[in-house]
Each structure stands twice: as structure tokens, then as C-alpha cells.
Structure 1
Amino acid sequence: MRVGFYLAPGQPVERVLPLIARAAAKAGQRMLVVAKSDDLLDRIGSALWEFAPAEFLAHGRAGDPHAAHQPVLLSRTCAAENDAKLVAVADGAWRDEAEGFERALLFFDESGREAARDVWRKFDGRKDVEREFYELDGGKWQRRR
């Protein structure tokens, strides 16, 4: 399993998550986006519509009639009705259920840095987990070591 830690200082997640969603869609991957707040999921949904109108990012909400067919599914839980292997934890609150995916992305800002460090340390010594850290720099995700 790969766990990506995505620090976006000064940017709301709904502004930066579409970059990753677009890359996943281009790679033919389905994505589950998880947040406990319906308001945040609504903002992410709007951002996916508006991000690149010429490159529409099809998406829907968990529980909707066509949820199983959505390449990007927005949900309050880590249950991938769309059979996603990639989960994006959009609210910075790690969920242990994310470990059931091939790849998990944890988005956070400066206020969530310490909680993200705790999650990073949770995987210390786990040979079955590859950790990656990315920071938004100049509008692009840069991998940090």
C-alpha cells in the first residue's frame, strides 16, 4: 500500500484535490473522496465541475443511483461503491479503513500538520506501506524527501 501525504499550505482542499483527481482519471483509476462534512464534499463536487470544463471530471455522491459507475465518488465513509482502489481523505482526518485501498492520499494544511505527522509515525516499521510526502509549490505538487 502507498500512502501519500499532501500538504497544501494556504489552499483549500477543494482547490487542490482536482489536480490529483484529473491525473487519476487520465490514468484510468477510480477515486473515492472522503470527508465527514457534506459542505466540504459539496465544495469539492463544485470544484470538480469547474476545474477544467474542457476536461470534465465525472463524479457523483455515494448512495446516488449511479454511484457504482462514477470515476470519482464523494462519500462520508471509506466504502467504495465505485470499486476505487485510490482513496483521497480530503478533510485531513485519517481513517483506518483507508488501509484497505491500494493507495491512500491524506490532504492537510498547516493546521493539520501535527495530526499528519502522527499518521506518518503510525506506519513506522511497516514494510507493507510506502510513504510519500508532497507539498504544493507554485501550483504543482512537489515530492519532498
Structure 2
Amino acid sequence: MGAAFFYHLTRDPVERTLATLLEKCLATGWRCEVRGEDAAQLDRLDAQLWLQPEESFLPHGRAGGPHDADQPVLLRTPGAGPAPNGAQCVLSIGGAEVGDAEVKALERVCILFDGADEAALQIARGQWSRLVEAGCAAQYWSQDSGRWEKKAERGA
């Protein structure tokens, strides 16, 4: 049974935090899905991930290509069923929804949200409440102090 980790972004942009989390996921051997509501944002992330230094290379692709199943990291919008790459971790950005059944079936779900955006905060709070009420384990991480610190934990 997996867990949902909520990352409250107050210092680093989503691109930097996402790249760090993806490096850790790939080092663990997990395949990942980056799920976002905004296709243009996913296109920007796709371009930025290719600019990583060689020692931090993050192999990935945008969903919809002939090699989706081969991608260690697949960037896509929601609604098309399970990721064709067999993702063990979903990283949600821009308020993309993740259901409790997914959290329970995956190794990890990471929900990244912008602390300066009130709408994003409300979406994340709603996701936290729904997932915890459904019995999912959840952790809330903040970088207010300059480094990531676990501020809350609920569930299994």
C-alpha cells in the first residue's frame, strides 16, 4: 500500500522540485508518471527536463508517442487510464487529481502545489482530506525553513 506525499512549494519552482523527486524515484527503480492538467505546462516541463546536466539526465517522454510503454518517466494529462509505462509513482502537478485507489495501488504519489497560489492550496487541502478520509497514508512536506521538512502525517 502506497502513500501520498504532499509537497508545499514555497521556495523552489515546480521544475526544480520535480526534477529532484524524479531523480530519487528513478534511483529507486520506479517508473513514473508526471500528471498535469495543463498540456502547455507539460510541454514546458518536457523541454526543461531535457536541459538537465548530463549527470542528472532524466529520460522521459510526452504521452502519445509510439514508445510510451518504454519511457521511465511519462508526462501526460489525466483521464486515459493507467500509465502505459507501468508507473509505480505518480507525480501530480497543477491540481491533477489522484484517486484513493491509485494511492493504495502505487508505491508513491507525490502531489506538488504552489504555496503562493490560493487556488492550488485549496485543491491540495481537498485532495488531502479526500485521501485521508479514504484511508490512505499521507505526509505533508514544506520547505519554509529552506529545506524539506515533514510537517504532518496521517493514516497507515
Normalised by the size of structure 2, how large is the TM-score? 0.80
- Let me know the Cα RMSD of the aligned residues: 2.1
Relative distance call for 1:124 and 1:79 in structure 2 (3 A) is closer
Relative distance call for 1:28 and 1:74 in structure 2 (3 A) is same
Please identify, of 78-87 and 99-108, the stretch whose mean Cα deviation from structure 2 is larger.
99-108
CA displacement at 1:68 relative to structure 2: 0.6
Relative distance call for 1:70 and 1:7 in structure 2 (3 A) is same
State the match for 1:76 in structure 2.
77
State the match for 2:143 in structure 1.
136
Instruction: Look up the SS of the partner of 2:64 in the other structure.
Output: coil
User: How far, CA to CA, are the matches of 1:82 and 1:139 in structure 2?
Assistant: 34
Alignment of 1:115-126 (within 5 A): 115-126=123-134
User: How far, CA to CA, are the matches of 2:13 and 2:74 in structure 1?
Assistant: 19
State the match for 2:112 in structure 1.
107
Aligned residues: 144
User: How far, CA to CA, are the matches of 2:144 and 2:52 in structure 1?
Assistant: 18
User: How far, CA to CA, are the matches of 1:141 and 1:92 in structure 2?
Assistant: 21
Instruction: Look up the SS of the partner of 1:123 in the other structure.
Output: helix
Structure 1 ranges of 4+ moved more than 4 A = 137-140
Alignment of 1:1-145 (within 5 A): 1-77=2-78, 79-96=82-99, 98-99=102-103, 100-110=105-115, 111=117, 112-127=120-135, 129-137=136-144, 140-145=147-152
Instruction: Look up the SS of the partner of 1:40 in the other structure.
Output: helix
CA displacement at 1:138 relative to structure 2: 6.6
Relative distance call for 1:46 and 1:138 in structure 2 (3 A) is farther
Please identify, of 88-97 and 3-12, the stretch whose mean Cα deviation from structure 2 is larger.
88-97
Identity %: 32
- Does the 8 A contact of 2:11 with 2:143 survive in 1? no
- Does the 8 A contact of 2:4 with 2:108 survive in 1? yes
